[in-house]
DNA sequence: TCCTTTCGTTTACAAATGTAATCATATAAC
DNA sequence: GTTATATGATTACATTTGTAAACGAAAGGA
């Protein structure tokens, strides 16, 4: 049941999700408040985004009186990971390492995560190839 | 001159770029050929994508006779990196480590890149925080 | 009870994207 | 030279996204 046929999430929608993830179960008022502080969007815009997120199945709307209470249907890390994966999927295998390295450099990372990475890398090193071939062409060049 | 005001690149357009990056200087015929092998797109569609890429400035079209020769104006890794960066920018700081770790796990990476990562991690460990605070709300919760 | 907020709902509209047909023309093949 | 082919240019059209106005009903205040 985790594989609903969800469409992807857009930039602005993502911004709304962040609020919901952080606040947990919440309602329009709160979302409006938080987004007013972060973004220069009209309330109308924000309401549209919420509506679309519900339509798309990323938010659940529980009717309470005339209001709604919203909850995210996916965890933030799942969503983050999926988006990241989708992105890497369009990219050439050969250069993924380089890109991940750059992300690593540019992102703030906790000691704990760094240690896990350390470990993962040690594991991978055992069987890592000297070079990952390019997969940009159906058949042909292994270098790009 | 590297900071043209380029719009972003779409999924399908990316697929065209991969071909050009791999082939280097090339022309429609080649692009069509490679993409016919990979994608189920009509020639028309591919031609539209090429045109849009030229418009957007991602491809340069040099007129030679009645044909064009196309060249990419950005390197693949630059583009990959930018896209990855854009993606991470929308995400909560707190969870970036986790996501990068997952990408690391799921991507094929060469020995060389792994070593560079090893090093980078050692560097970062020196000053890494125990926890990276959430930045989803303008001011408020540091945890999400 | 009447007015004013607050929400949810409906409608709008331009730009970007996915996907393609058609048409004119330059070329290559016959 | 005439025809078939390749190629660029024009036009099309539905969907998604960004961004928002407007309207109606409910709820809270006065």
Domain boundaries, chain A: 11-72, 93-144
Which segments in chain A show pLDDT lower than 50? Answer: 1-5
Q: Which nucleotides of D are covered by protein (CB under 7 A)?
A: 6-12, 16-22, 26-27
pLDDT at position A30: 95
Can you read off the two tokens belonging to residue B83?
């896209």
Q: A21: Cβ under 7 Å from strand D?
A: no
Q: Biggest alpha carbon distance in chain A?
A: 62
CA distance B137 to B141: 7
| Cβ-nearest to B92 among A23, A76, A140 | A76
The secondary structure of residue A70, as a DSSP letter, is E
pLDDT at position B127: 97
Chain B neighbors of A107, CB-CB under 8 A: 88, 93, 96-97, 100
Q: Write down the residue that tokens 């952080």 correspond to.
A: A22
Can you read off the two tokens belonging to residue A79?
């969503």
DSSP string for residues in B68-118: EEEEESS-HHHHHHHHHHHHHHHS-HHHHHHHHHHHHHHS---HHHHHHHH
CA distance B25 to B42: 22
Can you read off the two tokens belonging to residue B52?
């849009």
Looking at chain A, list the stretches that DSSP marks H as alpha helix, in order from N- to C-terminal side: 11-23, 28-38, 43-56, 76-90, 93-106, 111-127
Q: A18: Cβ under 7 Å from strand D?
A: no
Give how far A40 is from chain B: nearest CA, Å: 13
CATH of B11-72, one of 3.40.50.2300, 1.10.10.10, 2.70.98.10, 3.40.50.1820: 1.10.10.10
End-to-end CA, chain B: 40
Tens digit of each residue's pLDDT, chain B (144 residues): 333 345 689 999 999 999 999 999 999 999 999 999 999 999 999 999 999 999 999 999 999 888 999 999 999 999 999 999 999 999 999 999 999 999 999 999 999 999 999 999 999 999 999 999 999 998 777 888
CA distance A31 to A47: 9
* Residues of chain B (7-36) having a beta carbon less than 7 angstroms from strand D: 27-29, 32
pLDDT at position B6: 55
């Amino acid at each position: 049941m985790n594989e609903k046929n969800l469409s992807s999430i857009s930039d602005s929608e993502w911004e709304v999700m962040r609020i919901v993830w952080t606040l947990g179960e919440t309602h329009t008022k709160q979302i409006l408040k938080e987004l007013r502080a972060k973004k220069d969007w009209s309330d109308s815009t924000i309401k549209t985004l919420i509506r679309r997120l519900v339509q798309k199945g990323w938010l659940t709307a529980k009717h309470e009186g005339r209001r709604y209470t919203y909850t995210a249907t996916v965890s933030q890390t799942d969503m983050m990971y999926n988006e990241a994966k989708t992105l890497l999927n369009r990219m050439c295998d050969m250069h993924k390492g380089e890109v991940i390295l750059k992300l690593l450099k540019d992102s703030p990372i906790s000691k704990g995560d760094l240690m896990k990475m350390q470990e993962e890398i040690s594991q991978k090193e055992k069987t890592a190839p000297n070079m990952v071939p390019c997969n940009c062409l159906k058949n042909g060049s292994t270098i790009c």
